[in-house]
A = this chain, B = another copy of it.
Amino acid sequence: MLFMKGASPRPGRPLSRAFAAVLLGVCSAPALAQDLAADINTLRIDADVVWLSVASALVFFMQAGFALLESGMSRTKNAVNVLMKNYMDLCIGTLVFWAFGYGIMFGENSSGWFGHSDFLLSGADDLEYTALLFQTMFAATAVTIASGAMAERTRFSAYIVLSVVVTGLIYPVYGSWVWNGGGWLAERGFVDFAGSTVVHSIGGWCALAGIIVLGPRLGRFPPGKKPHGIVGHHLPQVALGGFILWLGWFGFNGGSTAAATTAIGAINLNTHLAAAAGMTGALAFSVLCRIPLLLTNAVNGALGGLVAITAGCATMAPEYAVLTGFIAAAFVIGGSALLAWFGLDDVVGAIPVHGFCGAWGTLAAGLFYLGDPFNLERIGVQLLGIGAGILWAFPVAWLLFRVIDLSMGLRVPQRYEMQGLDYAEHYEIAYPEFSEIRLHRGKPGVN
């Protein structure tokens, strides 16, 4: 029941014991102090849950950002398929992370390599549920990164298998090394506050394995000719996706305090400065390299800055946040060129943005550590963590994609790719009134 106006304004929660005792004047001073201290502690935990719940909502919304950005950077004929993959990795990922992933990542971790309790979490207290929801949103972020790079040619069912493996195995195992108190990287002092490596690089290396096994889209690298840049079909959607991701990052980084604390202020300022510097950097490098001032590069520059600041946002001065974001833009622009040079086809630039900038940001978190910058030992640990991420995620993902490819098939048939996956896999068209394809729907329930 919501508001019981007839009753007290906050039904279901009685007056605090201390407040009631004071009103009634019926208790001794020491007992009262104990009650007061307990009230304060309860209120603090309540405030933590409120903040984490808000942050969870913000990180959830990043799924919309990814969906719009990736769909907008794809062609019209695949717009629905990209959206569906983003929705499905969220849904499957949520259920799998609840069933397995959370236990592997945050369960009892006696070996230091993975957890082994808290599967299918139920009967837990509200704090643990709050943490599970927040972590679920992170797991969903990790898996969705691959969908953008692998867009426009990956089989829908294969992508669902990928979602299961990333949220149930690849992401939580690495995560347990860093964010589980018993993890071996945690014990070495590896700094990755909100997941430049844990979430973004891991997602990026999975994406890299994916596009290697998949191969480029038809016509992307025509033999004997210059590479053909395939442009996205809806740039305002890309811009909106970028804004939503930027917004969500205030929950992603700010929420990683796991508590209502003043540190959120500095963290979110750094987050915002790095994003602004990343986009400014993308334009500066575009002018320097005589590339047009593209919206897609600008948005990816901001995202690169956001990914990069994620590791060190809690332990960096503002001027270093600006520097971290600005340099990230170079990885975005340069990384895209590098991939194209290798004949790799990353539809949205996910690997430069999440993989390369995630690694750069994890290094930057060591380089620019507040009060102790440029400490070689710390930099060594950061490089160890970055390397461990690559060596874990890339081979496992590559193996997974090979197995999928040899069994069910990772890539759609060539005819499907030419028709577009919307028609071929969903019998649905993004903008049917602006398309020449006509659908014939007659059965009830199929509208």
A275–B63 Cα distance when bound, in Å, is 14
Do residues B91 and A280 form an inter-chain contact, with CB atoms below 8 A?
Answer: yes
A:223-247 near B, CB below 8 Å: 226-237, 239-240, 242-244, 246-247
A152-167 contact mask (Cβ, 8 Å, vs B): 1 or 0: 0000100000000000
Known contacts A50-B50, A61-B243; A295 and B236 CB within 8 A of each other: no
Asked if A88 is an interface residue, CB under 8 A from chain B, the answer is: yes
- Could you say which residues of chain B place their CB within 8 Å of the CB of A283? 88
Contact status A426-B292, CB under 8 Å: yes
> Which of A22, A182, A226 has its CB near the most chain B CB atoms (within 10 A)?
A22
The one of B256, B280, B317, B428 in contact with A123, judged by C-beta atoms closer than 8 angstroms, is B317
Q: Encode contact with B along A1-42: 1 for CB under 8 Å, 0 otherwise.
A: 111111101111101101101100000011011101111110
Q: Is A22 a contact of B16 with CB atoms below 8 Å?
A: no
Task: Let me know if B3 and A244 touch, CB within 8 A.
Answer: no
Chain B residue at minimum C-beta to C-beta distance from A52? B265
Return chain B residues, CB-CB under 8 Å to A58.
57
Q: Are A50 and B5 in contact, CB atoms less than 8 angstroms apart?
A: no
Stretch at the interface among A92-100, A205-213, A372-380: A92-100
Nearest opposing residue in chain B for A118, CB measure: B5
Q: Given the complex, which residues of B lie within 8 Å of A11, measured CB to CB? A: 181, 258
Q: Does A264 contact B (CB under 8 A)?
A: yes
A398 to chain B, nearest CB (A): 24
Most buried by B among A37, A227, A247, A292: A37
Contact in complex: B180, A268 (CB < 8 Å): no
Binary per-residue interface labels of chain A (397-429) against chain B in the complex, 1 for a CB within 8 Å, 0 otherwise: 000000000000000000000000000011111
Report if A45-B340 is in contact (Cβ < 8 Å); known contacts: A1-B178, A18-B37, A430-B235.
no
CB pair B34–A33 under 8 Å, yes or no, is no
- Interface-forming stretch among A64-72, A354-362, A387-395? A64-72
> Is A260 a contact partner of B46 (Cβ separation < 8 A)?
yes
Q: Does A136 contact B (CB under 8 A)?
A: yes
Asked if A444 and B227 sit within 8 Å, CB to CB, the answer is yes
SS of A interface (majority): helix
Are B156's CB and A239's CB within 8 A?
no
Q: How large is the interface on A (under 10, 10 to 19, 20 to 34, 35 or more residues)?
A: 35 or more
Q: Which of A40, A45, A128, A280 has the most CB of B within 10 A?
A: A40
In the complex, which residue of chain B has the Cβ closest to the Cβ of A289?
Answer: B445
A442 within 8 A of B: yes
In angstroms, Cα B261 to Cα A49, docked, is 7
Query: Quick check: is A384 within 8 A (CB to CB) of the other chain?
Result: no
Known: A226-B442, A426-B294. A16 touches B3 (CB 8 A): no
Q: How far is the CA of A65 from the CA of B98 in the complex (A)?
A: 27
CB atoms of A230 and B447 under 8 A apart = yes
- Point out the residues of chain B lying under 8 angstroms from A261, CB to CB: 13, 46, 49
* B279 near A91: Cβ-Cβ < 8 Å: yes
Q: State the Cβ distance, A156 to closest chain B Cβ, in Å.
A: 7
**Docked-complex contact B280 and A92, CB < 8 angstroms:** yes
Q: Contact check, A432 vs B132: say whether CB atoms are below 8 A apart.
A: no
14 further contact pairs, Cβ within 8 A, besides A36-B40, A129-B318, A233-B432: A1-B192, A2-B135, A5-B106, A22-B34, A29-B33, A53-B265, A53-B268, A54-B54, A87-B299, A88-B283, A126-B266, A133-B272, A226-B442, A231-B429
A-B pairs, 8 with minimum CB distance: A6-B181, A130-B265, A229-B441, A229-B447, A64-B243, A337-B445, A340-B444, A126-B262
